[in-house]
Structure 1
Amino acid sequence: MTVLLIVIGAAVGAPLRYLADRAVQARHETAFPWGTLSVNVAGSALLGFLAALPAEGSVMALAGTGFCGALTTYSTLGYETVRLAEEGARFHAIASALASVVAGLGAAYCGMAVAQALA
């Protein structure tokens, strides 16, 4: 049952990641991967929120592992960082990697703080 919940969450999170990434990136005419940064930060905030709630395992399987796991994407961050570096956009590559880590951790912390404030 847990695996099915993860699959269902991922089936929603993955297409949402793609659509959100494309929608954000289409509004920026720059090499910087704003779409990936946006979905990673939003997913980190949601996962931080979920992790701070007293939730049962099935909720975390569906929303945390499945949905947030598919919504956020370290592999795309890695790919885009390497692609930017290879294209000579080293500043954008470093800025993207640093911003994703710092903003992701900050968003997760803020998500946890919101959940604790509401509990």
Structure 2
Amino acid sequence: MFGQTQAFSGFSVDDLDEARRFYGETLGLQAEVVGEGDMRMLTLTLGSGARVFVYPKENHTPASFTILNFPVDDIDGAVDELERRGVTLERYSGFDQDAKGVVRGGSGDGPAAIAWFTDPAGNVLAVLQES
């Protein structure tokens, strides 16, 4: 039924303008606020052309799971650049993270390396290297 549609994802934040600065300026995504008044939302365009809608929510609760994964060829370079841009990597108990905050040596179908960080609204994001 939906096999030919262009589905998209969305998530909430508590401050749309802060989200636009983070996703647009810090992460370098195409980030455009559209709409007016209570109907404003942020449209993120990812490198693949996929779109993600970010909407303000007065009683926003951060997602406790990873909402966006960013595959990279060089996780160490990506982590260094994120930190240079003021992003702090998250550390979670139960994961063997190195000094940079990267979990390495994924098994099975998982990534070879992954590191997590959050947006200003507290939503969890990840950078990962697949091989």
TM-score by length of 2: 0.24
Identify the structure with the greater helix proportion: 1
Tell me which of the two structures has the higher relative contact order, counting C-alpha pairs closer than 8 angstroms and 6 or more residues apart: 1
Identify the structure with the greater strand proportion: 2
